[in-house]
Amino acid sequence: MLFPPPGLEPLATVTVDLAPPLDFGPGPDGHHRTVPITGGTVDGPALSGRVLPGGADWQRVLPDGTVFVEARYTLELSGALVGLVSTGVRTGPPEVLAALARGEDVDPAEYYFRVTLRATTADARYRWLTTSVLIGRAERTANQVRYDLHRLL
């Protein structure tokens, strides 16, 4: 091993409010749907603000229930706009994924939901986000996705 494992700097808990999915149906590479983002909050030691309405999570669902996500949305942090692109995967035992698909609350320890995020902003106060590796551990509820956002050190 060349280096010790990197540490994590906790930035915030992000709660993303969701509308019902728009279902595109099955395609050759999985079932496609889009989940509109209606708002949310950002609350933590390094960042606080809100998730603006208007983004969406474009999803590809495999036959086993695994979901690949790619969400694009905007944060407002102290008047600054920060765009986020979040990509990740949610997977787990079939019965757990089926319960999530039905909108049931499931203990996040029962499934794997991880995201990586890329930020963009013109505001100098948050430019450090654009040159950081950002990751999150997430959970899905009936109407929200929540994740703890960290900066990889």
Locate all alpha helices (DSSP H) within the chain, ordered by sequence: 94-101, 127-130
| Residue partners of 54: CB distance under 8 A and separation at least 6 | 37, 73, 74
Percent of the chain with pLDDT over 70: 100
134-146 pLDDT per residue, tens? 999 999 999 999 9
Average pLDDT over residues 49-70: 97
Find out whether 121 and 82 touch, Cβ atoms under 8 Å: yes
Predicted confidence at residue 134, as pLDDT, reads 98
107-151 pLDDT per residue, tens? 999 999 999 999 999 999 999 999 999 999 999 999 999 999 999
**Total-model pTM:** 0.95
Find out whether 77 and 48 touch, Cβ atoms under 8 Å: yes
